[in-house]
Amino acid sequence: MASTAPLHYHLTHCFSISQCKDKEVLLQHGWTARPPPRYSFSRNRENSINLTTSVSRPIKAFSVDIPSYPLLQPPKVEEESDSELEPADPDFYRIGYARSMRAYGIEFKEGPDGFGVYAAKDVEPLRRARVVMEIPIELMLNISKKLPWMFFPDIIPLGHPIFDIINSTDPETDWDLRLACLLLFAFDCEDNFWQLYSDFLPSADECPSLLLATEEDLLELQDENLASTMRKQQLRALEFWEKNWHSGAPLKIKRLARDPEKFIWAVSMAQSRCINMQIRVGALTQDTNMLIPYADMLNHSFEPNCFFHWRFKDRMLEVMINAGQQIRKGEEMTVNYMSGQKNDMFMQRYGFSSPVNPWDVIRFSGNARIHLDSFLSVFNISGLPEEYCHNSLLSKEGDAFVDGAVIAAARTLPTWSDGDLPPVPSIERKAVKELQEECQKMLAQFPTTSKKDLKILGILLKQIMDASHQLDSYATFLLCKIS
């Protein structure tokens, strides 16, 4: 991340303006805007004006102009109206007001998985889902999934060559290339929101996407299928850039991505942050690939506490807490990125995998069923299902390893536990033997054994110790020199 300060302090600090004089407002408030300062006005539900600005450091005061769009008052509806005419929806009067993102009871913080969204207070379970974020369509970058290409909001001017590039993509497969083009175009549009928001996107160095991985990184995956898929994807993005960003391309295209790395970074942003939804805009209902600021800071969980909802009435994306969900202050708010997908798909698209992916179960061919306690003790595993680990106290031969595959199996095996039938020793022994054999067969397919892994780790550890020893000596040498 370009900045370590909490996101909401930079982008959504709001001031209420109480006194206006000759279109000028003096805010006796102790803040300043970090360059480039940007102010936007919106009218809130109470009909007073909000000034939204990027804020970070205190100063004494500053003044701003009030924009000249009309501040319409929804007419007061008489309770007993003589008229037979139907009054317009009060929202009709709010069209044209500049809108910004709103957040309720959440904070953006940087954690082990980059930025994430956290509860700023306890959330008691409610019977109905409740809104924690509202993001207006104006801040998004959306493209219809199918032809004819439609952009919401429509930021591409008629005849701009980026449209031809987008138009040349395969409607079935190239959604990420189209979204990357739109993102790069938004960075280049004067006053576009994404010019500021890009400060909060992970840079190429911070981004865990495998599209940006080196050949060395890919080899370390020890998964030839995944590595080869990623090589193909890297090549696809590179060829697309070469085809459209050639020496004869117009300057307004060239400056969007002067080198292929920039374009591939944009594709990785599109892949790892895109949300797919059906949205209704006016009379149109569209399947859409969407980049939604703020909502794209939510991390993934297979047991999410939040979900997305499109509010068509005023074109807002709502992030909502599940009905009946309890969340404690400080807990992370999450959504489910993909259901029914194995870890290799998560790695491909998002650059992470999960040890608790319920879709990544190990398939056993035999019919062996085994009591959970027997299984855990046979494989020296302890802990609760979420955090099974090797129990060295149970280990007889001093083997310090339980392979990941066995632990993964423990989560998914055809086991039963207390409350079901009690274990029958003779059947258990037979089942254990079958499962052990099958685990051994699976493990044989991996390039290293646990012994080899231990050896590699030993070498690595020695190298780290040597390096740290050298650093120590160098530090002592420098200290001597200084003194």
Ligand X SMILES: C[S@@+](CC[C@H](N)C(=O)[O-])C[C@H]1O[C@@H](n2cnc3c(N)ncnc32)[C@H](O)[C@@H]1O
Phi, psi dihedral angles at 89 (to 5 degrees): -55, 130
Least distance (Å) between residue 335 CB and ligand X: 9
Q: Give the range of 3-11, 93-101, 295-303, 457-465 binding ligand X by CB under 6 A.
A: 295-303
Torsion of CA 319, 324, 329, 334, to 10 degrees: -40
Least distance (Å) between residue 145 CB and ligand X: 19
Q: Give the range of 8-16, 162-170, 294-302, 457-465 binding ligand X by CB under 6 A.
A: 294-302
Residue 296 binds ligand X, judged by CB under 6 A = yes
Residue 300 binds ligand X, judged by CB under 6 A = yes
Least distance (Å) between residue 359 CB and ligand X: 14
Site string for ligand X, 255-284 (x = CB under 6 A): -----------------xx-----------
Q: Among residues 101, 227, 297, 376, which is the contact residue for ligand X, using CB under 6 A?
A: 297
Of 24 and 113, which has the nearer Cβ to ligand X? Answer: 113
CB-closest chain residue to ligand X? 114
Residue 294 binds ligand X, judged by CB under 6 A = no
Residue 387 binds ligand X, judged by CB under 6 A = no
Residue 344 binds ligand X, judged by CB under 6 A = no
Q: Give the range of 10-18, 119-127, 292-300, 456-464 binding ligand X by CB under 6 A.
A: 292-300
Of 109 and 254, which has the nearer Cβ to ligand X? Answer: 109
Of 335 and 368, which has the nearer Cβ to ligand X? Answer: 335
Of 116 and 260, which has the nearer Cβ to ligand X? Answer: 116
Angle at CA 275, nearest 5°, toward 253 and 268?
A: 45
Residues numbered 186-225 forming contacts with ligand X, rule: CB under 6 A: 202, 208
What token pair was written down for 151? Answer: 């952009």
Residue 352 binds ligand X, judged by CB under 6 A = yes
Least distance (Å) between residue 116 CB and ligand X: 6
Residues numbered 103-132 forming contacts with ligand X, rule: CB under 6 A: 113-116
Q: Give the range of 40-48, 345-353, 399-407, 427-435 binding ligand X by CB under 6 A.
A: 345-353
Least distance (Å) between residue 402 CB and ligand X: 23
- For ligand X, how many residues bind (rule: CB under 6 A)? 15
Q: Among residues 142, 144, 289, 299, which is the contact residue for ligand X, using CB under 6 A?
A: 299
Residues numbered 43-62 forming contacts with ligand X, rule: CB under 6 A: none
Torsion of CA 284, 287, 288, 292, to 10 degrees: 90
Residue 307 binds ligand X, judged by CB under 6 A = no
Of 29 and 109, which has the nearer Cβ to ligand X? Answer: 109
Distance CA 334, CA 297 (A): 9
Q: Among residues 351, 374, 379, 428, which is the contact residue for ligand X, using CB under 6 A?
A: 351
Of 2 and 14, which has the nearer Cβ to ligand X? Answer: 2
Least distance (Å) between residue 309 CB and ligand X: 17
Q: Which residues bind ligand X (CB under 6 A)?
A: 113-116, 202, 208, 272-273, 296-297, 299-300, 350-352
